[in-house]
Amino acid sequence: MAHCEESRPSGTRIQLSVTVEQSISNDEVIAHYRIEEIGTSAKKLRLKVNQITARLEKRLKSEQVKHKTTGRSLRPHREKGVFNYKKWSLNQSGQILSSDLDNLANWLADIEAMGVKLNQLSFRVSSEKMRQAHNELRLEALRKFRDQAEVLSRGITASSFRIIRIQTSGNSRRHFARQPMMAEMAMAKNTAPVMASGESKTTLTVSGEIEVQFTDFPVK
């Protein structure tokens, strides 16, 4: 937010705002997944989930990704709304962040073949790219704010104007894409899933107040 020096009005004050919007190609993806196994032996379930996790980490080691486990739980298996205390369900969830979208489909198909179940892929714009876009939008919005101020000033025959107050605010809408069924269909055909990362939209608004000199208009 920026403020110009305020003083007692020496002219007519006008409030105005300008909004600009830009579409930005998403350059990051977050994959939310789970590893789920059901059986009668909790010890065997832990061993199997640990084995899948080890294979997953080994496969991702050669990729440009950040991987973390977000949760793990062992509980009696629930069937038709009732707990079956003779069976156990072990569920481990995790998250993979990558900026290498070109190679996404390949490693994604590989980890799904291991038994990793994809919950959701969410595509987004990286913080650095969004920051650059906001800087560009801010300059564009300020130019349009000044242009609008000039038009309003000419409309009341003012020869100049000054900015009393000005502020900026922005908003970004991230794009979410791909349903888990797409991965299952791709695996059934033994092919890598096809995905489109899409775009995100960001808007920036510049609002403020200008002051133009008092003008006496004749009454007809």
What's the CATH number where 66 sits? 3.30.70.360
Give the pLDDT confidence score for residue 189 in this predicted structure.
47
Q: Is residue 11 located within the same domain as residue 52?
A: no
Q: Give yes or no: residues 14 and 45 share one domain.
A: no
Domain boundary among 106, 124, 142: 124
Q: Is residue 179 part of a domain?
A: no
Q: What is the residue type of 106?
A: N
Pair 75, 151 in one domain: no
The model's pLDDT over 38-94, given as tens digits with 9 standing for 90+, comes to: 999 999 999 999 999 999 999 999 999 999 999 999 999 888 888 888 899 999 999
3-state class (DSSP) for residue 171: strand
Are 69 and 119 in the same domain? yes
- My answer on whether 149 and 164 are in the same domain is yes
Q: Is residue 100 domain-shared with residue 148, that is, in the same domain?
A: no
Asked if pLDDT for residue 182 goes beyond 50, the answer is no
- Dump pLDDT digits (tens) for 1-22: 555 555 567 889 999 999 999 9
Q: What is the pLDDT of residue 183?
A: 46
58 and 38 share one domain: yes
Q: Are residues 17 and 40 in the same domain?
A: no
Average pLDDT of the chain? 86
- In angstroms, the CA 157 to CA 138 distance is 28
Residue range(s) defining the domain that contains residue 11:
2-24+128-173+202-213
Task: Pull the structure tokens for residue 55.
Answer: 């294979």
Q: Are residues 34 and 118 in the same domain?
A: yes
Kindly give, in sequence order, each residue whose CB lies less than 8 Å from that of residue 114, ignoring residues fewer than 6 positions away: 52, 55, 56, 59
Portion of the chain with pLDDT greater than 90, in percent: 61
Whether residue 179 is predicted with pLDDT greater than 50 in this model: the reply is: no
What is the count of structural domains for the chain? Answer: 2
Distance CA 105, CA 61 (A): 16
69 and 102 assigned to the same domain: yes
Quick check: is 186 in a domain?
no
The whole-model pTM stands at 0.71
Average pLDDT on 14-38 reads 94
Higher pLDDT, 184 or 94: 94
In a domain, 219, yes or no: no
In sequence order, the 6+-apart residues with CB closer than 8 A to the CB of 170 are 134, 137, 202, 203, 204, 205
Q: How far is CA 121 from CA 97, 102, 137, in A?
A: 10, 15, 28
- Same structural domain, 15 and 40: no
Q: Select from 108, 124, 140 the last residue of a domain.
A: 124
